[in-house]
Structures are given as structure tokens and as C-alpha cells.
Amino acid sequence: MQILKIPDEKDLYVAAFKLLNILGPVAGVLIIIGTVALGYVQTRPQNLPVTHILTHGDRTFKLSVASTPEQLEKGLKFRASLNGDRGMLFNLGREIYDVPFWMYKVNFPLDIFYLKDNVVTTAVYNAEPCHKTPCPIYKGKVASQVLELVKGAANIKVGDRLNIQPLSVLPKNNIGIYSGNSLKTKNNR
């Protein structure tokens, strides 16, 4: 019969102390790395694909569309700039009254257009960037979509009907749109 030796209480404390001396710094470094990584991910601009085209007058704008709550919240935050022929369309999912938008952590001025059935119900021109709260909140009377374009890029007014189309309904040979199979032939797949 073997006798089970129970370690001395002092030995347990020494072993636990040694383990903490090893795990403590490792945990500290992991917390620091995790915090920096999380901050980096949260402050990166979103890069949504261009899925729609807006034509107004003689101008054409390529639009990215934000539809999920996360995309709607991030919008154009953290971007350094936006090309004059680009914009973002926010699909709100339903008709909303007194639609609030703000420019928190957006780095350049925008024109904001509130749309119902593609008709502009409210226009906010030159909404200035805001980096500290409280920021001004811009409200549209009613909207199911909101369009943001670079300040002064389009001569859009309240009451204008906008021609916003998904890329899938444009002609396949439209210049400037890559259809993905323009170099393929029947025999060369």
C-alpha cells in the first residue's frame, strides 16, 4: 500500500506564485495586443462594393449601399476622403419620420439627401465633419433611404426624383462597367 503524500501548503503557494509570475505578463501583453487590435478594427473605414448607379443631370455617381445595422452605423466614418463621383446610399428598411443622421467621425463635408420613393424629401448641404460629441443631428422629414455625396458634387434639390439603379439592370456593354466575361468566347471558357 502506497501512502499518498499531500504537498505541504507552502509548496502549493510557491507553485501558484511561480505560475502567476509566468501567466501575469503573458496575460498583460495579450490584453494590450487585443485592445490595440480592437481599436484598429473599430476605426477602419468600411469598404462596401459599388452596387448602384445614380444618374442626375449630366453626372453619374457610383454608390455603395449600407443595409445592415452595422453598415448603417459606420457609414462613411473614418474615411480620409471620397471621390467626387462616389457616394453612399443608406437603405433604412422602412419609411421613417424625423430620420436622424450625424457626421460623427466623418472626415469631410457631405451633402445629405433624404429619399422616399426616390424623391428628395429633405436636403442638407455642407454637413460639416464632427469629431467630438455632441455633434449636430440632421433630420429628414421622412425617408426610406438616405444618400450621402461629397459636398457640392450634385445639384440636387428637394422634390427631385433621382434615378438610382442597381448595376444588374444596366446594359452589359456599358462603358466603364466590367461584366466579367467580355474576353470569353463560346469555345474559350
**Using one digit for the tens of pLDDT, what is the confidence trace for 96-131?**
999 999 999 999 999 999 999 999 999 999 999 999
Rounded to 5 degrees, φ, ψ at 105 are 65, 20
Global model pTM greater than 0.85: no
Helix (H/G/I), strand (E/B), else coil: 147:
strand
Residue-wise pLDDT tens digits, 132-182: 999 999 999 999 999 999 999 999 999 999 999 998 865 554 444 444 433
Grid cell in block for residue 177: 462597367
Grid cell in block for residue 58: 449630366
Place of cell 434615378: 163
